[in-house]
Structure 1
Amino acid sequence: MLTRVDPALSPEAAAPVAPHAVVIGAGLGGLASAMRLGAKGYRVTVLDRLDGPGGRGSAIRAEGHRFDLGPTIVTVPQVFRELWAASGRDFDADVDLRPLDPFYEIRWPDGSRFAARQDTGAMLAEVGRLSPGDVRGYERFLKDSEARYRIGFEDMGRRPMHRLADLVKVLPAFARLRADRSVYAHAARRVKDERLRMALSFHPLFIGGDPFHVTSIYALVSHLEKAFGVHYAMGGVEAIARAMVKVISAQGGQVRQGVEVDEVVLREGRAVGVRLASGEEIGADIVVSNADAGHTYDRLMRNVPKRRWTAPKLRRTRWSMSLFVWYFGTKGTRGLWPEVGHHTILNGPRYEGLVRDIFVKGRLAKDMSLYVHRPSVTDPGVAPEGGDTFYALSPVPHLGHDDPVDWAAMEEVYRRKVQDVLERELLPGLGKHLTASRVFTPETFRDRYLSPHGAGFSIEPRILQSAWFRPHNVSEEAKGLYLVGAGTHPGAGLPGVISSAEVLAQLVPEPVGVEVAR
């Protein structure tokens, strides 16, 4: 029984004291977990080493610009609405979501373009314009995507997968849907045009996966986009994180920033709290780690013998790629570059070869593909009047490969290459308008987020690193320890990390004798 009685009270006045949950990390998964636990009646303390909430979804400010550091879109808003509803609140009263149309535009070196939209007719027209012979195949791909969504997201993605029996139950569906086939291989069976094959298969890159090796179950993203749209939160994802903190505070919980957890404290095989880098110890009835699963097991539980997630196993694990992100501001550009919308994907001359260099060979290629975020076309307050705020993201190898990139030497060289590509292919004259400039390399991801090898999205979501094969939401290494976030089930991306908190709520015991105030 988790309920505690305060010993300072007399027997007559004694009343149940809500059990205490400590959450390590104020990323979106950690904050969502705190909300779920608060709704259950737990007293919750969230601990985070950064100076503001959101983790990878936080922001920095420079010269009047707000730079959203990580995720920029919301693809399944109902997971947030359900989270708020579980806390007795209204998400749409706290967060202003704006639908994007188009979601993004993909551009290729030959000058062709593809605008992704929610409307089926508009998408069929886009496919027909690029490759008329692929329209029927695209329609089949959409049906395939919906079937994979039903299994991969609504079923597996929203319930625990820590028992082997849970995996066995879905194997027939996996076989039927050819989960052994990669996303790219599946797209290639439906459409012939290489540009469309890329447009239908690149989505795993948003969660750190190699499209040529990640299971075709992840084709479900195309259905997510079509069914629910793609949205932008005014104020950025940081605005969602800050709204979450307000809910946690209203529940009686607290979020402490600027404190780093150094170790999970165990007693007789059970997590009983955490020790901070300062030496302070905080007791808990349960501990929830939103830190990277690799960091949790390799660092925070370094003094605990592990049965499954041992150091050798973590070394054998395949990690997602990392990211090079250039955040930059411009002045005098509002209205300039009118064909550049909120999101643009600039493809380099290679697709498979570039992906192979990043994931398999672990080398920094001479060419690049870029994901360009221009939020100021939707949210003018992100930049000073008359200016724009951007980030350009290039997938790059993580630091765990043989002969990793020396980013201290390459940072400015590579940033200059990114600028050259942007000036040549998207933003002519960019250099004349530049103001603020910040760069994140894989070393930043390693040092800021304590991400193993500087991986951008934790463990790569290959088929044998997904569901039951992934670090479980309820730890097998210590009783009372739970994991949420990108490195656990169901995986990376905003829908994944928010759903990990939903799974957590199904696993954590109900407090006994504690009334929940809504």
Structure 2
Amino acid sequence: MDNGTVAVVGAGPGGLAAAMLLAGGGYRVTVYEKQPQAGGRTSRLELGPFRFDKGPTFLMMPHLLEELFAAVDRSLHDYVELIELDPLYRLQFGELHFEPSRDPARTRELIERHFPGNGAGYLRFMRDEEAKFRRVSPLLQRPFASPRDYIARDVFAALPRLHATDTVYGRLSRYFTDERLKYAFTFQAKYLGMSPWECPGTFTMLSYLEHRYGLFHPIGGVNRVCEAMAQVVGEYGGEVRTATPVRRVLVRDGRACGVELEGGERVAADHVVLNADFATAMNELFEPGQLRKYTPERLAAKKYSCSTCMLYLGLDMEVDMPHHTILFAEDYRRNVEEMMRGRRLSDDPSIYVHNPGRTDPTLAPPGQTALYALMPVPNLEAEIDWREEGERVRARMLARLEREPGLRGLASRIVREAMITPLGWRDDHGVYRGATFNLAHSLDQMMMLRPHNRFQEAANCWLVGGGTHPGSGLPTIFESARISVRLLMEQDRRAARRAGAARRSAASGPHGKGAV
């Protein structure tokens, strides 16, 4: 079966998911990735014998991935071994360590022990969010391209549950009285690169989903999922070409018709799927003046997420810490406001520590550790000179890590190291303004107001990834791929039916008795 050719720009999780679905659906697919390995921000970083996930470090809702693989007659579990994490993570507020799990009874007991009187609020939160998720999830599985898309039964059913005019923090304040417990259920707004005091209340779903469906670690890292999808693309005759940057999306008569590679080669395609960072793609992959809606000025006026400073540390020591730990700032609200509103570095940062060797022995040699530390920081809209500040931030992160009993003496045990600052995200990874989590999820950048899956500026061009509907985060990125592929295939099927009807009409002649 040959349904035509597709060029996919970018081998991130959205591009690879789309490529896998299209290749399995009979399209001839080629994925072009400028980095030397597939995965984009979800790729693997190797430092000698140490292996790290460059970006995302856990899988949530693995049933979505299982459905993607099943759609092309494959089983995810033939390619990736998943380990469920229990507890989900350790949340540290000074001396208090809170380690929730997806066992409601156990988590309620922990909450009552650490935050007396809040256990009933937790159960009420989980009950209310379950009802909310049932209503809202259909909206994450279909496109929003025009006001007509809001006039549907599922939209009207979901609207009262969206809580879009409230904030994540405001919603959690209805369930919990202890500030630390509110933070334990609001920090997930950082997955969207936003402050819980500004992020729409819709996204309290994120903490619910963790507690309801759990967190999973793929042996080898989350990057293994991208490698598995690339493998399936190859099994269906597709190709993933790494170290092959795309210079331009070719557009003729208002339609995307292929890509021009950095070396000058032009490749024709019936469709182009864009998985590159959204704003970077708009600025760099189209001829100047070609786009009307996404001009450089309009892109600059949009709202973007925060950024991150990343430390990848190969240590000649074992680390006695959980798989995931979040070290909350002493004054978490001040920390977030300094970063998001003040656009400055906080003297009291929060830091996420990933210690996957606790679960997975394949990432470092015996007796050693591949440790990953992430500090949320302002994106490049802030007036911070990262060429000077980078080393100071590194020292601040190491100093904070060394306060942990399991990490004392850390700095003297580093044998391999890499760091990515917002400048590195922009210059080395093509991330606009270093905004690691893409476009912000503010009310004016959600659903129909987010870039559409069917690209408005050029026919036969489709968007996938965090910069389109339904948004950033791996589960929604996978949904973006499903939505865009479904739209692409439906368009081709309609075109094929019209062409078939035209041929039959031509064959029947003007009087319906056949051509003479």
Identify whether the pair has TM-score above 0.5, normalized to the shorter chain: yes
- Candidates 69, 74, 84, aligned match of 1:84: 69
Residue 119 of structure 2 corresponds to residue 140 of structure 1: no
What's the counterpart of residue 399 of structure 2? 420
Residue 480 of structure 2 corresponds to residue 500 of structure 1: yes
- What are the equivalent positions in structure 2 for 1:362-377 lying under 5 Å apart? 362-377=343-358
What's the counterpart of residue 429 of structure 1? 409
What's the counterpart of residue 129 of structure 1? 113
Supply the AA of the counterpart residue of 1:157: L
What's the counterpart of residue 200 of structure 2? 215
Residue 145 of structure 2 corresponds to residue 165 of structure 1: no
CA-CA distance at 1:96 after TM superposition: 0.3
- What are the equivalent positions in structure 2 for 1:309-320 lying under 5 Å apart? 309-320=294-305
- Distance in 1, Cα, partners of 2:314 & 2:213: 31
What's the counterpart of residue 354 of structure 1? 335
Supply the AA of the counterpart residue of 2:203: Y
- Candidates 366, 369, 385, aligned match of 2:366: 385
- Candidates 433, 439, 452, aligned match of 2:432: 452
- Distance in 2, Cα, partners of 1:468 & 1:327: 38
CA-CA distance at 1:469 after TM superposition: 1.1
- Candidates 478, 483, 487, aligned match of 2:467: 487
Supply the AA of the counterpart residue of 2:93: W
CA-CA distance at 1:352 after TM superposition: 1.8
Supply the AA of the counterpart residue of 1:164: P
Supply the AA of the counterpart residue of 2:375: S
CA-CA distance at 1:302 after TM superposition: 4.0
Question: RCO higher in 1 or 2 (8 Å CA, sep ≥ 6)?
Answer: 1
- Distance in 2, Cα, partners of 1:328 & 1:308: 42
Is contact 1:266-1:273 (8 Å) kept? Answer: yes
- Distance in 2, Cα, partners of 1:231 & 1:168: 37
CA-CA distance at 1:282 after TM superposition: 0.9
CA-CA distance at 1:176 after TM superposition: 4.4
- Candidates 93, 110, 126, aligned match of 1:108: 93
- Distance in 1, Cα, partners of 2:119 & 2:289: 56
- Distance in 1, Cα, partners of 2:162 & 2:243: 46
CA-CA distance at 1:140 after TM superposition: 1.6
Runs of at least 5 residues in structure 2 that lack an aligned partner in the other structure: 498-516
- Distance in 2, Cα, partners of 1:297 & 1:167: 27
- SS of 2:233's equivalent? helix
Is contact 2:2-2:26 (8 Å) kept? Answer: no
What's the counterpart of residue 6 of structure 1? none
- Distance in 2, Cα, partners of 1:497 & 1:33: 10
Is contact 2:52-2:370 (8 Å) kept? Answer: yes
Q: What does the per-residue CA deviation read over 1:205-227, in whole Å, with 9 as the maximum and x for residues that have no partner?
A: 01322211111111112232233
Number of corresponding residues: 491
- SS of 1:294's equivalent? helix
CA-CA distance at 1:304 after TM superposition: 4.3
- SS of 1:147's equivalent? helix
Is contact 2:192-2:437 (8 Å) kept? Answer: yes
Is contact 2:132-2:161 (8 Å) kept? Answer: no
What's the counterpart of residue 263 of structure 1? 248
Supply the AA of the counterpart residue of 1:151: R
- Distance in 2, Cα, partners of 1:307 & 1:143: 45
What's the counterpart of residue 185 of structure 1? 170
- Candidates 466, 489, 500, aligned match of 2:446: 466
Supply the AA of the counterpart residue of 2:353: V
- SS of 2:392's equivalent? helix
Is contact 2:135-2:161 (8 Å) kept? Answer: no
What's the counterpart of residue 181 of structure 2? 196
Is contact 2:289-2:295 (8 Å) kept? Answer: no
What's the counterpart of residue 47 of structure 1? 32
TM-score (norm 1): 0.92
Q: What does the per-residue CA deviation read over 1:430-464, in whole Å, with 9 as the maximum and x for residues that have no partner?
A: 12322111101001111222111011111011122
Residues 126 and 302 (structure 1), Cα distance of their counterparts in 2 relative to 1, 3 Å cut: farther
What's the counterpart of residue 9 of structure 1? none
Residues 151 and 358 (structure 1), Cα distance of their counterparts in 2 relative to 1, 3 Å cut: farther
- SS of 1:509's equivalent? helix
What's the counterpart of residue 502 of structure 2? none
Residues 445 and 205 (structure 1), Cα distance of their counterparts in 2 relative to 1, 3 Å cut: same
CA-CA distance at 1:411 after TM superposition: 1.2
Q: What does the per-residue CA deviation read over 1:364-416, in whole Å, with 9 as the maximum and x for residues that have no partner?
A: 12110001000111111101111111111000000023x2x111111111101
Q: CA RMSD in A?
A: 1.7
- Distance in 1, Cα, partners of 2:110 & 2:292: 51
- Candidates 419, 422, 439, aligned match of 1:442: 422
TM-score (norm 2): 0.92
